[in-house]
Amino acid sequence: MANYYQPEIECASREEIVRIQNEKLVKQVRHVYDNVPYYRHLMEEKGVTPDDIRSIDDIHKLPFLTKADLREAYPYGLLGTDLKNCVRIQSTSGTTGKRVVAFYTQKDIDLWEDCCARAIVAAGGTNEDVCQVCYGYGLFTGGPGLNGGSHKVGCLTLPMSSGNTDRQIQFMMDLGSTILCCTPSYAAFIAETLAEKGYKPEDNKLKAGIFGAEPWTEEMRRDIEAKLGIKAYDIYGLTETTGPGVSFECEEQTGMHINEDHFYAEIIDPETGEVLPEGSKGELVFTSLDKEGFPLLRYRTRDICVLSRKKCSCGRTHVKMSKPMGRSDDMLIIRGVNVFPSQIETVLLNEGYSPNYQIVVDRVNNTDTLDVYVELTPDQFSDIISENQKKEKALEGAIRTMLGIGAKVHLTDPKTIARSEGKAVRVIDKRKLV
């Protein structure tokens, strides 16, 4: 039996959702035009006024906002209300450059926490659960978002923040955590550490994990599920629109329902900006329909994914987005071929290797080089060099089949690749460093 936090919205009819979106968009555009001079100028440049926006069908008339705009307008240029009405700021983790700050009114925080509560309930959470939040607390949105959602659901919340893995495990075992919230790479590390301490999957009380904030593959999901004995749910979000909870997975685990009453999603061609029909792969663009502090319209996320309105067995009617396969700026172009780190992760896990890997790209004599460092588990480790070489060759073959280009694989000793407690650093592109 599916559980909902706000069924009247999560399972609303299409007509009802469109009605809500139309009403909110018209109001929001007027509000932004009147209160955010930076965006008003962009609208003026495009010759659009609030009167031109009568329903969601008119949204394509509005200008896009990009990360560059956010940096230019830093810190207050996109503020949508008086600073005195704001109660919080959060900031991006700065994965791809200068940090961005976002502002929240109390209402913004409430809606954000509702979104996270929807995600927790979709993962089976109730007030009987013990929810261990080991996303970072502080400026990063992961900890505060899931913390707020967990309170709303009434779970016993463990505000662990990230790091100190021994203490994470002690609390998990002593207090019987049933839901684990963290990045998938940290979940993999916790699972590894539990096994090292001699715990089996059935020794913990966990039933679900809510993992997001970075790309992860289906293979990684299955690996974590088996090692922790749980069902692992994806959650997505970004600081610019709120934080985690913009979309979340239900029990079907086939994509994340976008909270459409708060965020309107479009998929565009990243080259031309043209809006693409449902089912096309492209860049995700979000419009915050009711954010007060930081009301971004048509914000280009640079995340590449696909939207689907296929009926979901959970009963939710909100559109689903596929797992983002990475950001457009995570995409590596190696010898002219587009490569996403997630493709390499898929191969590694399918071939039975650990999710501890690093990709190094460089340019030697005007040719791109791709080196993949993959850590062996103690079971896989062998002293016999020829055996390792054979394994490396096999993996190189599998990567070539997936990517269409060659890579040099280096199998490394156990525990030689740094573990992540937050977002994992998977790629070192030395070409960008020169």
Residues 273-312 that bind ligand ADP (CB under 6 A): 301, 303
Contact 405, 333 (CB under 8 A): no
Residue 312 interacting with Zn ion (CB under 5 A): yes
- Only one residue has tokens 């100028």, namely 41
Please give the residues from 247 up to 276 whose contact with Zn ion meets the rule CB under 5 A: 250, 252
Task: Report the alpha-carbon distance of residue 261 to residue 331 in Å, rounded.
Answer: 31
| Closest to Zn ion by CB, 223 or 261 | 261
Residue 238 sits in the site that holds ligand ADP (CB under 6 A) = yes
Nearest distance from residue 215's CB to ligand ADP, in Å?
A: 4
Residue choice 125, 144, 145, 212 for contact with ligand ADP (CB under 6 A): 212
Per CB under 6 A, contacts with ligand ADP among 96-155 are: 96
Interface region with ligand ADP, contact rule CB under 6 A, candidates 53-61, 230-238, 355-363, 425-433: 230-238
Minimum distance of ligand ADP from residue 28's CB (angstroms): 21
Residue type, 40: R
Using CB under 6 A, which of the segments 12-20, 51-59, 212-220, 370-378 binds ligand ADP? 212-220
Whether residue 75 is preceded by a cis peptide bond, meaning omega within 30 degrees of 0, is: yes
Structure-block tokens of residue 70: 């956010």
Contact between residue 319 and residue 308 where contact means Cβ atoms under 8 Å apart: yes
CA–CA separation, 324 vs 169, rounded Å?
30
Binding-residue pattern over the window 316 to 355 for Zn ion, x denoting contact by CB under 5 A: x---------------------------------------
* Least distance (Å) between residue 331 CB and ligand ADP: 12
Q: Which of 239, 259, 287, 358 binds ligand ADP (CB under 6 A)?
A: 239
How do strand 408-412 and strand 367-375 relate by DSSP bridges?
A: parallel
Residue from the set 31, 88, 207, 327 that interacts with ligand ADP by CB under 6 A: 327
Q: Token pair of 109, please?
A: 């925080």
Stretch in the footprint of Zn ion (CB under 5 A) among 72-80, 158-166, 198-206, 309-317: 309-317
Q: What is the pairing mode between strands 357-364 and 367-375? A: antiparallel
Dihedral (C-alpha) 394, 331, 94, 426: value to the nearest 10 degrees? 0
Burial class (CB in 10 A: 0-12, 13-18, 19+), 29: buried
Q: Which of 145, 148, 215, 255 binds ligand ADP (CB under 6 A)?
A: 215
Listed residue (391, 346, 341, 401) closest to 370, CA to CA: 341
**Could you say which of Zn ion, ligand ADP, none residue 314 binds, taking C-beta under 5 to 8 angstroms by partner kind?**
Zn ion
Q: Which residue has tokens 């700026």?
A: 329
Residue 9 within binding range of Zn ion, rule CB under 5 A: no
Among positions 23, 41, 72, 94, the unique one binding ligand ADP when judged by CB under 6 A: 94
How many of the chain's residues bind ligand ADP (CB under 6 A)?
A: 20
Of 69, 113, 129, 214, which lies in the binding site for ligand ADP, with binding defined by CB under 6 A?
214
Between 125 and 355, name the residue whose CB sits nearer to Zn ion: 125
Q: Is 302 near Zn ion (CB under 5 A)?
A: no
59-94 burial string, b = 16+ CB within 10 Å, else e?
A: beebbbbebebbeebeeeebbbbeeebbeeebebbe
Q: Counting contacts by CB under 6 A, is residue 93 touching ligand ADP?
A: yes
CA–CA distance from 15 to each of 20, 145, 288, 420 (Å)? 9, 29, 19, 44
CB of 38 closer than 8 Å to CB of 3: no
Binding site for Zn ion (CB under 5 A): 250, 252, 312, 314, 316
Residue ranges that bind ligand ADP, judged by CB under 6 A? 92-96, 212-215, 234-239, 301, 303, 323-324, 327
